[in-house]
Chain A
Amino acid sequence: MSTTFIISLLLGLSIAGYFFGYRRSITLASPIGGVKNLHSRPAYYGMLVALWCGLPTFIIFLVWQSLEPSIISSLMIADLPLDYQNLPKNQLGLIINDIKNLATGNIVAGEKNAIMHAAANHYVQLQILSKWIKGGALLVLGLITLIIVCRRITPEQRARNHVEKIIRIVLFCCSTIAILTTLGIILSVLFESIRFFKAVPITDFLFGLKWSPQTAIRADQVGSSGAFGAVPVFIGTMMISAIALFIAVPIGLMSAIYLSEYAGKKFRTIAKPLLEILAGIPTVVYGFFAALSVAPFIRQTGGLLGLDVSSESALAAGLVMGIMIIPFVSSLSDDVINAVPQSLRDGSYALGATRSETIRNVVVPAALPGIIGGILLAASRAIGETMIVVMAAGLSARLTANPLETVTTITVQIVTLLVGDQEFDSPKTLAAFALGLLLFVATLILNVIALVVVRKYREQYE
């Protein structure tokens, strides 16, 4: 009984429930003078049965599905011989992995023996058993609710109100997913970070000047002491973001001013969507462009000028990131500039100011809070941007202010620490979550300030 089969079974049951409910309400209605004497239209009776039949079974199915793997493995472990069960945790984990691989027919890394084969068989049996029990139980449950709800249908039953109440609850549950997501982010990042800060003091992390997260695997290994001072990483992030903003803010702002104040309608309708394309290009494409076109170009130009430019310079990554966030700055500024009331402009013209004077002295100051909000949002984009820096910026955490050298960023470090197989309890992997926590907090603060500023400004003129 495969998962898709169970899902289609439950779906079929619900549809059958709809028709049974529909028919039942019509048969009940015919002796008392037709459908018009029912409280609700027959479709609502059908829906009532379908929902009662489908929803509980589906919820049970989801819960079962998410708990099944852990329950089955613990059952299998309980059946292993005692000397296996008393092994250290990580060794046992390896063996369990091997058994699972045996069961699914994959290649097994370690040695196999009869006990493991037996365990693998047992594991497969448990899986099959669980599937049958699950399918059977859900089918029976669905049928029982179908029959009960069907039999309780009466002409006076307020089926429509009942169905609407259920739909409302479902809608409400969907809307709480946003809160659950935020909660999930905070908990998952915070939880692992706390474990990290138990191994590395938080002051060392926040104020340490050396970042080299490779920890020694063996005690006698050289050069991998593991230093988790994140200051060089912050400096690198800030430098690349600053370069990006340095490119994006003037270009974005001036484009927004030109498009909203000067450009003719035709030019605007063509240029604006073209600018928005820049925001729609995937970041991995920008990364490729930065690494293969921009970085070599900057390196060559620097060579001509007699400068020593690293092939993974902060300048290349920052420049391309700047291009990426131009549309954020320009479209947000465009919105706020358009929101400035025309009367302010008219007043300025009446005093004899030229257009550019009006823009500089009246429109931009009036729109300034909104523009700053937009720039803050763009900055939070730049800090959290990953692929461009992963592909075009370096890995070595250096404490430097020279944009021609290579620097690293928070996101680059998260990716390098977490990509590939790794244990989940070494400080190295946990450091990634600590960095993630910082990233989340930093962008959250920027976003909240930006949103508050933008909202406050909008209310002024509305």
Chain B
Amino acid sequence: MQKNNSVIGQERIQKKLKQRYRAEKRFRRLGLFAVITALSFLAILLISISSKGYTAFQQTYIKLEIPLSHEILDVKNLANADYPGLVKASLRQMFPDVKGRRDKRKLYGLVSTGAAFELQDRIIEDPTLIGEKISMWVPASSDVDMFMKGQIPKNVSENERRIKDNEIEWIDWLQQEERIEKRFNTVFFTAGDSRDPELSGIRGALSGSIFTLFITLLLSFPIGAATAVYLEEFAPKNKWTDLIEVNINNLAAVPSIVFGLLGLAVFINFFGLPRSVPLVGGLVLTLMTLPTIIIAGRAALKAVPPSIREAALGVGASPMQTVLHHVLPLAMPGMLTGTIIGMAQALGETAPLLMIGMVAFIVDVPGSFTDPSTVLPVQIFLWADSPERGFMERTSAAIMVLLVFLITMNAVAIFLRKRFERRW
């Protein structure tokens, strides 16, 4: 009887064991599934953005033959000549069959409005060209550009596409004559913002970002390092020090938009600093990144073993000399890593900068810390709001540029950590 019981018990255990092993497997698969889901989100995000954006690195150009007659171009008054007229005349010459106002307007729409400015620049630079017939490549309009890149499908009815049948005919003819081609898009890297997608670029936003980050780095690294050194090496254990520590930990988790409110209320309204300038943006981002840098700096200082301090103190160095000559140099790689990560955070930050007015439409490339400007993430935000198809492509491309910067910064941080990290 007893034996029988134990056999039944064993059978039950065996059965249960199978179940338990199955549950084990299920749980393990669930975990793997979670990791893979998270990683596939990352992959989808990156693929969707780069598949939309890679075309922006090319731009369509059209070759025009432009006769520069003396009647239209007065050498003494080159600034006021009718350059758009010259471009239009050249287009009419290429397509003499186009009649009717509406068709003609469409024809002129093949090239960008920037073509006239390029022509003007070229003639003002070299007035001896007048009287000759020059051929030059000018940017095509955004719609033509989109069509050439296959973003506007041919096989839908004419009413539903922005490029009509006769325009397709012209483009086909231009292609036959090899007068239209895609080239590397230099405008994207050399121009500021513009209302026309084909003339807009990220240079303005990029220099705004550089000015802003320069201010941030200039302020946040010394202040952050000094705070970390004080708290880790000199601060007495008292209520005030506790208060500082609690504050820093809290500031690290305050939403970034609240820092924007602070900037708006204190720097702009109270101190009367101008709006939309990199100086104020840098100040706000400094306050935002300080906690990151301080926390990383303290961790780096903590990692320096006490024996270093004891040895320095033992040969007669003062506490300050111990820190400045021995502890700080050893902690520096860790501090720099933290600073770079903080800078990467600041480079990608948008919300607080919206609050202090860095969202204005600014065409000029900023040249100083007090010029109105915008930054790369805000430029992405502004372009993402524009309805034109051409801007969508450029938004994705700007995101790719931003991500390249961020990945480079993080890679440098990781390299620094790997290269200079010491295990004591």
Provide the bound-state CA to CA distance between A192 and B265, in Å.
Answer: 9
The number of chain B residues touching the other chain, given as a range, is 35 or more
Provide the bound-state CA to CA distance between A289 and B49, in Å.
Answer: 8
Given A280-B410, A384-B258, output 11 extra A-B contacts at Cβ < 8 Å. A175-B226, A178-B290, A184-B262, A188-B262, A275-B38, A281-B348, A285-B49, A287-B384, A356-B24, A381-B253, A443-B253
Do B257 and A436 touch across chains, with their CB atoms under 8 A apart?
yes
B251 within 8 A of A: yes
Which of A288, A355, A357, A433 has the largest count of B CB atoms less than 10 A from its CB?
A: A288
Do A189 and B28 touch across chains, with their CB atoms under 8 A apart?
no
**Which of B66-74, B146-154, B240-248 faces chain A?**
B240-248
B positions within 8 Å CB-CB of A? 20-21, 23-24, 26-28, 30-35, 37-39, 41-42, 44-45, 48-49, 52, 222-223, 226-227, 229-231, 234-235, 243-244, 247-251, 253-259, 261-262, 264-266, 269-272, 287, 290-291, 294, 318-320, 344, 347-351, 354-355, 357, 359, 377-378, 380-381, 384-385, 392, 395-396, 399, 402-403, 406, 410
A354 within 8 A of B: yes
Do A258 and B350 touch across chains, with their CB atoms under 8 A apart?
no
Sampled A-B contacts (21; CB under 8 Å): A164-B320, A171-B234, A172-B230, A177-B290, A178-B227, A188-B270, A255-B35, A258-B34, A278-B42, A280-B410, A283-B351, A292-B52, A292-B384, A292-B392, A326-B41, A356-B27, A391-B385, A414-B257, A415-B257, A439-B258, A440-B254
The number of chain A residues touching the other chain, given as a range, is 35 or more
**Chain A residues whose CB sits within 8 angstroms of the CB of B348 once the complex forms:** 280-285
**Which of A15-23, A138-146, A228-236, A444-452 faces chain B?**
A444-452
Provide the bound-state CA to CA distance between A252 and B39, in Å.
Answer: 11
Closest B residue by C-beta to A182: B247
B207 to chain A, nearest CB (A): 18
Closest 5 CB pairs of A and B: A384-B255, A258-B31, A282-B348, A188-B265, A254-B34
Do B226 and A170 touch across chains, with their CB atoms under 8 A apart?
yes
Do A178 and B291 touch across chains, with their CB atoms under 8 A apart?
yes
Against B, the Cβ 8 Å flags (1 = close, 0 = not) of A370-396 are 000000010011011111001100000
Please pick, from A178, A285, A411, the residue contacting B351 in the complex, using a CB distance under 8 A.
Answer: A411
A330 within 8 A of B: yes
A positions within 8 Å CB-CB of B? 66, 69-70, 160-161, 164, 167-168, 170-172, 174-179, 181-182, 184-185, 188-189, 191-192, 250-255, 257-259, 261-263, 271, 274-275, 277-278, 280-289, 291-293, 323, 326-327, 330, 354-357, 359-360, 377, 380-381, 383-387, 390-391, 411, 414-415, 418-419, 424, 432-433, 436, 439-440, 443-444, 447-448, 451
B354 to chain A, nearest CB (A): 5
Do B20 and A168 touch across chains, with their CB atoms under 8 A apart?
no
Closest B residue by C-beta to A293: B48
A244 to chain B, nearest CB (A): 13
Known contacts A330-B38, A436-B258, A391 near B349 by CB under 8 Å: no
Please pick, from B229, B249, B258, the residue contacting A440 in the complex, using a CB distance under 8 A.
Answer: B258
**Chain B residues whose CB sits within 8 angstroms of the CB of A381 once the complex forms:** 253, 255
Provide the bound-state CA to CA distance between A263 and B351, in Å.
Answer: 37
Please pick, from B222, B258, B354, the residue contacting A419 in the complex, using a CB distance under 8 A.
Answer: B354
Do A288 and B250 touch across chains, with their CB atoms under 8 A apart?
no
Known contacts A287-B384, A356-B27, A70 near B272 by CB under 8 Å: yes
Known contacts A178-B291, A188-B261, A384-B256, A254 near B39 by CB under 8 Å: no
A409 to chain B, nearest CB (A): 11
Closest B residue by C-beta to A447: B253
A135 to chain B, nearest CB (A): 18
A346 to chain B, nearest CB (A): 18
Provide the bound-state CA to CA distance between A387 and B384, in Å.
Answer: 12
Provide the bound-state CA to CA distance between A292 and B257, in Å.
Answer: 23
Provide the bound-state CA to CA distance between A370 and B65, in Å.
Answer: 72
Closest A residue by C-beta to B243: A179
**Chain B residues whose CB sits within 8 angstroms of the CB of A327 once the complex forms:** 38
Do A174 and B227 touch across chains, with their CB atoms under 8 A apart?
yes
**Chain A residues whose CB sits within 8 angstroms of the CB of B350 once the complex forms:** 282-284, 386-387
Closest A residue by C-beta to B383: A288
**Chain B residues whose CB sits within 8 angstroms of the CB of A177 once the complex forms:** 223, 227, 287, 290
Please pick, from B38, B48, B250, the residue contacting A326 in the complex, using a CB distance under 8 A.
Answer: B38
Closest B residue by C-beta to A274: B39
Closest A residue by C-beta to B28: A262
**Chain B residues whose CB sits within 8 angstroms of the CB of A448 once the complex forms:** 250
Do B244 and A254 touch across chains, with their CB atoms under 8 A apart?
no
A442 to chain B, nearest CB (A): 9
Do A284 and B261 touch across chains, with their CB atoms under 8 A apart?
no
Please pick, from B23, B249, B265, B270, the residue contacting A189 in the complex, using a CB distance under 8 A.
Answer: B265
Closest A residue by C-beta to B287: A181
**Chain B residues whose CB sits within 8 angstroms of the CB of A415 once the complex forms:** 257, 351, 354-355
**Chain A residues whose CB sits within 8 angstroms of the CB of B254 once the complex forms:** 185, 384, 440, 443-444, 447
**Chain B residues whose CB sits within 8 angstroms of the CB of A355 once the complex forms:** 24, 27-28
Please pick, from A176, A181, A191, the residue contacting B265 in the complex, using a CB distance under 8 A.
Answer: A191
A169 to chain B, nearest CB (A): 10
B171 to chain A, nearest CB (A): 27
Closest A residue by C-beta to B291: A178
**Chain B residues whose CB sits within 8 angstroms of the CB of A443 once the complex forms:** 253-255, 258
Closest B residue by C-beta to A188: B265
Do B380 and A178 touch across chains, with their CB atoms under 8 A apart?
no
**Chain B residues whose CB sits within 8 angstroms of the CB of A282 once the complex forms:** 347-350, 377, 402, 406
Provide the bound-state CA to CA distance between A287 and B381, in Å.
Answer: 8
Do B249 and A451 touch across chains, with their CB atoms under 8 A apart?
yes
Provide the bound-state CA to CA distance between A420 and B139, in Å.
Answer: 33
Provide the bound-state CA to CA distance between A252 and B41, in Å.
Answer: 13
Closest B residue by C-beta to A276: B410
Known contacts A170-B226, A282-B348, A288-B395, A182 near B20 by CB under 8 Å: no
Closest A residue by C-beta to B356: A418
**Chain B residues whose CB sits within 8 angstroms of the CB of A170 once the complex forms:** 226
Do A278 and B38 touch across chains, with their CB atoms under 8 A apart?
yes
A433 to chain B, nearest CB (A): 6
Provide the bound-state CA to CA distance between A68 and B230, in Å.
Answer: 33
Closest A residue by C-beta to B223: A174
B69 to chain A, nearest CB (A): 36
Do A377 and B253 touch across chains, with their CB atoms under 8 A apart?
yes
Provide the bound-state CA to CA distance between A32 and B318, in Å.
Answer: 25
Provide the bound-state CA to CA distance between A447 and B348, in Å.
Answer: 23
A358 to chain B, nearest CB (A): 10
Do A181 and B251 touch across chains, with their CB atoms under 8 A apart?
yes
Please pick, from B234, B255, B392, the residue contacting A439 in the complex, using a CB distance under 8 A.
Answer: B255
Do B320 and A444 touch across chains, with their CB atoms under 8 A apart?
no
Do A359 and B27 touch across chains, with their CB atoms under 8 A apart?
yes
Known contacts A330-B38, A384-B256, A436-B258, A179 near B384 by CB under 8 Å: no
**Chain B residues whose CB sits within 8 angstroms of the CB of A326 once the complex forms:** 38, 41
**Chain A residues whose CB sits within 8 angstroms of the CB of B399 once the complex forms:** 285, 288
Do A274 and B42 touch across chains, with their CB atoms under 8 A apart?
yes
**Chain B residues whose CB sits within 8 angstroms of the CB of A414 once the complex forms:** 257, 261, 355
Do B261 and A178 touch across chains, with their CB atoms under 8 A apart?
no
Known contacts A171-B226, A271-B35, A288-B399, A385 near B406 by CB under 8 Å: no
**Chain B residues whose CB sits within 8 angstroms of the CB of A439 once the complex forms:** 255, 257-258
Do A189 and B244 touch across chains, with their CB atoms under 8 A apart?
no
Provide the bound-state CA to CA distance between A293 and B41, in Å.
Answer: 12
Known contacts A281-B403, A356-B24, A447-B250, A171 near B229 by CB under 8 Å: yes
Provide the bound-state CA to CA distance between A252 and B38, in Å.
Answer: 8
